[in-house]
Structure 1
Amino acid sequence: MQSLAAIAVAVLATVTLQAPAHAAGQPPTSTKFVDITGSGGVDLKANVVAPTTAGKHPAIVFPSSWGLNDLEYIAQANTLAGRGYVVVSYTPRGWWASGGEIDTAGPQDLADLSAIIDWTIANTAADPARIGAAGVSYGAGISLLGSAFDKRIRAVVMMSGWTDLVYSLYGDNTRHQQSAGLLSLAATLLGHPGADLSGKLADFNADRNVEQVQAWARVRSAGTYLDAINANRPAIMIANAWGDSFFPPDQLVDFFGRLTTPKRLELRPGDHAIAEFTGILGLPNDAWTSLYRWFDTYLAGVDTGIGAEPAVQLQPLNAGAERYPDWAALNTATRRYGLGAIRWLDGTGLLGGAPSTGWSKTLPADLDTVANGGVVLLTNGVGAFTGRQPQIWLPAVDRLRAGVWASERPPAPTKIRGIAKVHLNLTGTAAHGTVVAYLYDLDSLGNAKLITHAPVTWLGPAGGSRTVDVNLSATAYDVPAGHSLTLVVDTADPLYYDENTLGGSVTIAAGSYVDVPIR
């Protein structure tokens, strides 16, 4: 899938290069392909698109995405050069024709970014005081990390990036199988992973040397260097998708809240890099429009008004755009939905009210149901274009394999904004185990639309009682009047590795509940 995307971008870039480099009314631009020497003498392939007008210009550096190359941004580079920017896009080390081995946004990649900036200042009309960095996915992560180590980066736009790579790999102690598998496939087909990355991926897949893998990931996480970023004070815009299956948005919330720089957070429907995809093709795109406004304000010195707007900009999954001054303003209350006893007649319990007592529900371990998070990139990605959430028919959920709890049907909509939290009391568990919780919008015909979900894994002593708490992926969704908020819990999902033992069981006990942020 990554390789097909890379080929598509390369073909698109070839077509784009044959087109005029500037739009009507914009100054002419020039395009050239260059080799830039990175850290340790590694050759980095790059292209430069720049205005031909005299004088110094603000500059933007674009590291390409995982599996792609410097042609990825050629359409946007033409647009930005027409707006007066020097744009340097490059292929990070270890990818395509660039030298070296993949460093996965590590110290060598950050040294390369600084070397690219050195070259840009020395060889183009870039103004050293007005340097920005931006990208999608891998390029986004490198750009944000670079702002902690290079004070010359005065503005950053991170689209579909990460701030905590440990969480991305091991969220709630659960390894993300499909996303890591695609990253590994792309590295093998299109890059030079080397012993470091290959070893870490092998350890991740085999669930060994976890502390070493997490330490490696921590070095590659912007959250590790938050104090340095705040000290350097670049203006940071973060754009992501609610359904990002590579870098779920929960990790962004704490990071964004602790940023003291000029900042903006935008969340839209979709999956990883889907919300920005049409912009890569050179088509109108809201995320890229925000990028123009962000850099115009913080690099070009043009007051677009974006700095005065509320810092959090949301496109809910099924409602109109909303703006908030900060993340805490999304919701006004938290509503607790207690899990009740399972009814014999329909195999469903009541979701709502205080947590009830005197019941339990036993689930067989490591057996899936039709309730799942879908396929990485595709399931939530399609929703970004169709406006429709992933859907199942709830009666098809096997009650012998899953616990199902449905709320009463209120006469008014329930507006969920933020991060819902599931608290489960478990008894008689194995030492290691996994459950996956799904929150659905259930209509009167049994159609259930997925609102949010997350897995949680415990690693501890066998037997006895334990509690597990899981933050579901952040969301903004309006449950229509007359619909039922529904929780499904099972023990397997193709998106994730689980720690269950086939033939074992997990028992959910009384006192369990879901806390839902409501506006």
Structure 2
Amino acid sequence: MTLRRSLLALAVATIAGLGTLTVPAIAAPTAVRSEPVHSYTDAVRETVWVDTGLTAPDGDRVRVAADIVRPRTAAKVPVIMDASPYYLSRGRGNESQKKTYDNAGRPIRFPLFYDNYFVPRGYAVVLVDLSGTARSNGCVDVGGRAEVASVKAVVDWLNGRATGHTSATGPATAAATWSTGAVGMIGKSWDGTIANGVAATGVEGLKTIVPIGAISSWYDYYRSSGAAFTNGGPASLAAAVENEQGAADCGAVKAALTKGSPSSGDLTPMYRERDYVQAAGKVRASVFVVHGVNDLNVKSINFGQWWAALPPTVERKIWLTQAGHVDPFDFRRPVWVDTLHRWFDHYLLGFDNGIEDEPLSTVEEAPDRWRDDSSWPAGTPLTLRPRPGRSAEVGALGADAPPAGTVAALTDNGSTAYDWITNPAGASSARVVYRTEPLTSDIRVSGTSTITVTATSSAPAARVSAVLVDYGPATIRDYRSTGEGIRTLATRSCWGESTAGDSACYLDTATATTTVTENVIARGWADLGHYAGLDHRRVLAPDTAYTITFTLATTDQVIRAGHRLGLVIGGADTRHITSTGGSPRLTVDLARTALHVPIANTD
């Protein structure tokens, strides 16, 4: 069957995506909802230092600071927790808010809107300083055992299983007698990453997590199938957020991070320890994933592999935006606050509001245009093969493989994917490009693509990049701009109650768009020397073909009728990954190269 007929058939058929989770038929939610009946001004504000059971390099027990704001009530309340390394360094949210304290050290400002909105509605909000940051002692180990164990200890303390103290070093204890023990963790980026890690311990009392733009495997934050990203290393990230004590005492921890992250791109024991996907089977909490499919900081493979690894018994929901590394409070604010409110009401207060029966996935198809579905991902893998066209470097993408021995060559010259995708009909020594015929109907790429590349390198080391491109005019979120798809306005809107030291009013945002003639919808990178596995990079022999299979970014994008789907293969995409040096020449065996892309209909 030709590609055109295959895609057309897919566009009109009902596609049941492999491995998807289907929810029951949508039921109308009830009106049950928590209301703002408690005074935010009179709320209890305190700090408890929780003993993590760990020992710091100076021999002291590690205690993490948990800043708490809770209703002044005799009733027990559930907890919304955001554990972060950023509260006194980079800050949180679009306005980079930091915690503030009075002269006695009592917390005054709690960043983000969670406290202002949810405390009056009967929730406590607990903001935890990760070990080695802000007012916690210990060391920053970048998603390792210390960070996960320290936050897990706070969940245990809220359930009466760990010891809390009224000061950083003193013996006086504090019990969470006010807590129901029900905890929901939320956070963007590193914060959401720790939520994933704590959930993967299966800790009792953690009822739900809401990871936003979160990492599921730190290897996949710093590496891609052996290729090193240009985002530095874990030791430099630790140094950026650690407090003065950590800077003085935690040199050995940072040295271990550096040793465990070699430039070879090998998957080391250090990275295996920080792979929460492998422990996803322990997750008992419900999971509400939010991610930008154009997130070039925390690449979207992180949510794709996490979602796929969750046990089928885990109740879940997913929001995907066309923006980059952006919080939903800044790309869909009113709907987000309402949805999050009902999510926490259900999983932390036990309200029967029907949210668990609402559409499982919400995907932004185009700027500010959203679709709901009962399952995700929607795509079924379709195998596409590159074939030569007018020249070896510019060809067709279809269902049929080219004859054995068909090859194409490229030279890694240090350029980027943005250079490669322009002028697709022209020859270029830096890349090869293959495109379908213009599509006769809309198709949807929904899920995680993989590619198998067979290539010979002129050098003992080489990188391979693969880029999936939508060729055709479109207006998209401007995810490559400073705001990554949003603009910050001068006006403010308020979400909850304010005090003199903690405002509930935040700068409004609007969608930032741009017009394009081609758009990258998924990209992946690999080091060819890892063809036999990620544990060890091998030296490439000349005139020897090596086959490697690697993933492209998880995505959900609609390609319109009349557009072409393109595959571009190049060397080191230096916008994202480091080069091996020199200018390796790659000869790609097209007969042994195949793209597997998840295609769905758009009905």
- State the TM-score, normalizing by the size of structure 2: 0.69
1:144 alignment partner AA: N
CA distance in structure 1 between the aligned counterparts of 2:191 and 2:217, rounded to whole angstroms: 15
Residue 217 of structure 2 corresponds to 164
1:221 CA displacement = 2.6
- 1:103 is aligned to 2:141: yes
Alpha-carbon deviations, 1:259-317, whole Å to 9, x = none?
22222233222223x134638xxx92555543322221111111232211243332235
- 1:458 is aligned to 2:507: no
CA distance in structure 2 between the aligned counterparts of 1:277 and 1:429, rounded to whole angstroms: 49
1:77 CA displacement = 1.6
**More deviation in 495-504 or 161-170?**
495-504
- 1:228 is aligned to 2:282: yes
Q: 1:199 aligns with which of 255, 261, 264?
A: 255
- Identity across the alignment (%): 20
Alpha-carbon deviations, 1:300-335, whole Å to 9, x = none?
11123221124333223568433344435x02x443
Contact 1:253-1:327 within 8 A present in 2 as well:
no
- 1:295 is aligned to 2:306: no
CA distance in structure 2 between the aligned counterparts of 1:449 and 1:106, rounded to whole angstroms: 36
What are the residue-to-residue correspondences of 1:449-488 with 2, within 5 Å?
449-459=519-529, 460=538, 461-462=540-541, 463-488=543-568
1:454 alignment partner AA: G
Contact 1:203-1:210 within 8 A present in 2 as well:
no
**More deviation in 355-364 or 54-63?**
355-364
Contact 1:310-1:324 within 8 A present in 2 as well:
yes
Residue 137 of structure 1 corresponds to 189
CA distance in structure 2 between the aligned counterparts of 1:186 and 1:227, rounded to whole angstroms: 29
- 1:351 is aligned to 2:397: yes
CA distance in structure 2 between the aligned counterparts of 1:453 and 1:428, rounded to whole angstroms: 21
Q: 2:463 aligns with which of 397, 409, 434?
A: 434
CA distance in structure 2 between the aligned counterparts of 1:410 and 1:141, rounded to whole angstroms: 38
CA distance in structure 2 between the aligned counterparts of 1:145 and 1:319, rounded to whole angstroms: 31
* 3-state SS in 2 of match to 1:503: coil
Contact 2:226-2:265 within 8 A present in 1 as well:
no
- 1:316 is aligned to 2:365: yes
Contact 1:437-1:453 within 8 A present in 2 as well:
yes
Q: 2:452 aligns with which of 420, 423, 428?
A: 423
What are the residue-to-residue correspondences of 1:100-499 with 2, within 5 Å?
100-117=138-155, 119-120=157-158, 123-124=175-176, 126-147=178-199, 148-178=201-231, 180=232, 185-191=236-242, 192=246, 194-203=250-259, 206-207=262-263, 210-211=266-267, 214-229=268-283, 233-257=284-308, 258-259=310-311, 260-272=313-325, 274-276=326-328, 278=330, 284=333, 286-316=335-365, 320-327=369-376, 330-331=378-379, 333-344=380-391, 348-357=394-403, 359-369=406-416, 371=418, 393-394=422-423, 399-428=428-457, 430-443=459-472, 447-459=517-529, 460=538, 461-462=540-541, 463-498=543-578
CA distance in structure 2 between the aligned counterparts of 1:160 and 1:436, rounded to whole angstroms: 23
Unaligned runs of 5+ in 2: 1-33, 56-60, 92-97, 100-109, 160-173, 475-515, 530-537
* 3-state SS in 1 of match to 2:446: strand
Residue 58 and residue 197 in structure 1: after superposition, are their counterparts in 2 closer, same or farther (change >3 A)? same
CA distance in structure 2 between the aligned counterparts of 1:393 and 1:465, rounded to whole angstroms: 29
Residue 109 and residue 510 in structure 1: after superposition, are their counterparts in 2 closer, same or farther (change >3 A)? closer
Contact 1:35-1:43 within 8 A present in 2 as well:
no
Residue 509 of structure 1 corresponds to 589
Residue 111 and residue 425 in structure 1: after superposition, are their counterparts in 2 closer, same or farther (change >3 A)? closer
Q: Which has the higher contact order (CA 8 A, sep 6+)?
A: 2
Residue 504 of structure 2 corresponds to none
- State the TM-score, normalizing by the size of structure 1: 0.79
Count of residue correspondences? 465
* Structure with the largest fraction of strand: 2
Contact 2:143-2:218 within 8 A present in 1 as well:
no
* 3-state SS in 2 of match to 1:443: strand
1:109 CA displacement = 2.2
CA distance in structure 2 between the aligned counterparts of 1:228 and 1:452, rounded to whole angstroms: 30
Q: Report which of the two structures shows the higher radius of gyration computed on alpha carbons.
A: 2
1:372 CA displacement = 6.5
Residue 82 of structure 1 corresponds to 120
Residue 115 and residue 477 in structure 1: after superposition, are their counterparts in 2 closer, same or farther (change >3 A)? closer
Contact 2:214-2:302 within 8 A present in 1 as well:
no
Alpha-carbon deviations, 1:30-52, whole Å to 9, x = none?
25242514324334344222122
* Structure with the largest fraction of helix: 1
CA distance in structure 2 between the aligned counterparts of 1:480 and 1:143, rounded to whole angstroms: 37
* 3-state SS in 2 of match to 1:82: helix
CA distance in structure 1 between the aligned counterparts of 2:123 and 2:407, rounded to whole angstroms: 62
Alpha-carbon deviations, 1:177-216, whole Å to 9, x = none?
22x45x65553343146235522453466515945xx312
**More deviation in 161-170 or 120-129?**
120-129
CA distance in structure 2 between the aligned counterparts of 1:404 and 1:185, rounded to whole angstroms: 37
1:139 alignment partner AA: D
1:152 CA displacement = 2.1
1:82 alignment partner AA: P
Alpha-carbon deviations, 1:439-478, whole Å to 9, x = none?
1122379921111111122214423222222321111212
2:204 alignment partner AA: K
Residue 32 and residue 494 in structure 1: after superposition, are their counterparts in 2 closer, same or farther (change >3 A)? farther
Alpha-carbon deviations, 1:396-439, whole Å to 9, x = none?
98711111222211232232222223232323554432111111
Contact 2:208-2:287 within 8 A present in 1 as well:
yes
Unaligned runs of 5+ in 1: 1-22, 374-391
1:336 alignment partner AA: T
1:63 CA displacement = 0.4
Residue 61 of structure 1 corresponds to 81
Residue 389 of structure 1 corresponds to none
Residue 501 and residue 289 in structure 1: after superposition, are their counterparts in 2 closer, same or farther (change >3 A)? same
